[in-house]
């Protein structure tokens, strides 16, 4: 059995009979986990082992474990800083920031791998222009060069642990205020503007072997009528041909409001697949997942299969050895130093006589 093109979610912390039936369907190729699927590391390890035991090759297991606001597994895992914290440190000490970023990325990846999770959907490559609250400090910063340096350091860290990196949200979500979870954003910039800024981090990481990309549910109307994740222009012409990307393209969640531009759920899935997505995410909507799986039961792409197989985690540590590993200890140390930096920044702001005083 090959890996199918659909990634689905689960309702609870264990596999039920309906879950097992769905995950054995040939159109399914992966599972995305959320906080509701997690109690503690032991339970997570049992769940991922049960998922992996269902199929050969084993299903891919992914999660959003960026750090900061977006970290699905918390108790029993190291609390990770948001990407913006590395950007703040970079402004003071670029070398130290990149060192910290690589160490924390290794830590994140190693903790997931020992629990049986193949990859995290990270790093965020969007430029934080102060417009989009859904990005904010999930991004490394607003300037191109620091974002490129830090994103490259993050990718290097996860690879050292045996994990692939997933850059998102192509070609850049930072130029719009709207949240694609709740509405369809429109970015009126032209290709020259995007190539000069937002696309640079994607291009740089692709040049260094970026394994996967997730496109944005954002329309760039001066360039294509569809959101990027449904657009042959963006995924085939720009990403594959112009930037030379040879890795996996994951759709963003087809259940998001902005994905409604692609039609009903089956139409969205077909449109994303035609545009060039190798794996389609459908989350928090089991009826829609079942409809998409039934509709795409016979879809198979040998090239996509080869790409997807490279997303399997290659961790070599056990949980017992993890905390003895010098890299884990270094990562925890860097997390603590970044927390100290945030406290220092807050103290300096409170002591600043030019800081405006808020009155209730």
Give the separation between CA 229 and CA 213, rounded to whole angstroms. 10
Nearest in space to 7 (alpha carbons), one of 40, 51, 44: 51
**How far from chain centre, in Å, is Cα 336?**
24
- Distances in whole angstroms, Cα of residue 180 to Cα of each of 132, 186, 214: 10, 10, 14
237 given a catalytic annotation = no
Tokens 């193949």 correspond to what residue?
Answer: 118
**Please, are residues 164 and 310 in contact by the beta-carbon 8 Å criterion?**
yes
- 308 token code pair: 């997807």
Rg (CA), the chain: 20
Q: Which member of 19, 118, 187, 252 is catalytic? A: 252
Buried b vs exposed e over 109-125: b needs ≥16 C-beta within 10 Å?
Answer: bbbbbbbbbbbbbbbbb
Is 118 annotated as catalytic? no
Tabulate helix, strand, coil % of the chain (nearest 5): 45, 10, 45
Which DSSP string do the residues of 180-246 spell out, in sequence order? TTTS--B----HHHHHHTTTHHHHHHHHTT--EEEE-S-B-TTT-SSBGGG-HIIIIIIIIIIS---
Q: Tell me how far CA of residue 42 lies from CA of 59, 135, 163, 291, 320, in angstroms.
A: 20, 32, 21, 33, 12
Select from 329, 328, 324, 316 the least CA-distant residue to 162: 316
C-alpha 31/C-alpha 6 separation (Å) is 9
Q: For residue 302, give the 3-state DSSP assignment.
A: helix
Give the active site residue among 179, 181, 193, 333: 181
Any idea which residues carry the catalytic annotation?
181, 252
């Amino acid at each position: 059995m090959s890996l199918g093109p659909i990634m689905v979610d689960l309702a609870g912390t264990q596999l039920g009979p309906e879950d097992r039936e769905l995950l054995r369907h040939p159109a399914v190729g992966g599972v995305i986990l959320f906080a509701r699927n997690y109690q503690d590391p032991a339970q997570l390890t049992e769940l991922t082992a049960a998922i992996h035991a269902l199929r050969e090759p084993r299903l891919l297991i992914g999660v959003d474990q960026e750090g900061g606001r977006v970290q699905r597994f918390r108790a029993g895992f190291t609390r990770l800083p948001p990407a913006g914290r590395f950007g703040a440190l970079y402004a003071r000490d670029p070398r130290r920031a990149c060192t910290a970023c690589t160490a924390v990325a290794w830590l994140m990846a190693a903790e997931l791998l020992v629990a049986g999770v193949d990859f995290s959907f990270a790093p965020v490559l969007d430029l934080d222009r102060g417009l989009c609250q859904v990005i904010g400090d999930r991004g490394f910063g607003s300037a191109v060069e620091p974002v490129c340096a830090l994103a490259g350091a993050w990718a290097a860290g996860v690879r050292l642990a045996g994990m692939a990196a997933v850059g998102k949200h192509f070609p850049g979500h930072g130029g719009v205020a709207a949240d694609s979870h709740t509405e369809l954003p429109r970015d009126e910039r032209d290709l020259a503007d995007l190539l000069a800024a937002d696309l640079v981090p994607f291009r740089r990481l692709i040049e260094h072997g970026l394994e996967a990309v997730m496109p944005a549910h954002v329309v760039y109307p001066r360039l294509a009528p569809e959101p990027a994740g449904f657009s042959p222009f963006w995924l085939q012409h720009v990403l594959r041909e112009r930037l030379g990307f040879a890795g996996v393209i994951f759709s963003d969640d087809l259940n998001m409001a902005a994905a409604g531009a692609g039609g009903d759920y089956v139409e969205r899935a077909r449109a994303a697949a035609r545009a060039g997505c190798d794996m389609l995410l459908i989350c928090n909507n089991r009826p829609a997942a079942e409809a998409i799986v039934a509709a795409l039961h016979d879809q198979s792409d040998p090239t996509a299969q080869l790409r997807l197989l490279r997303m399997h985690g290659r961790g070599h540590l056990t949980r017992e050895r993890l905390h003895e590993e010098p890299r884990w200890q270094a990562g925890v140390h860097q997390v603590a130093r970044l927390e100290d930096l945030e406290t220092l920044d807050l103290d300096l702001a409170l002591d600043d006589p030019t800081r405006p005083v808020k009155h209730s």
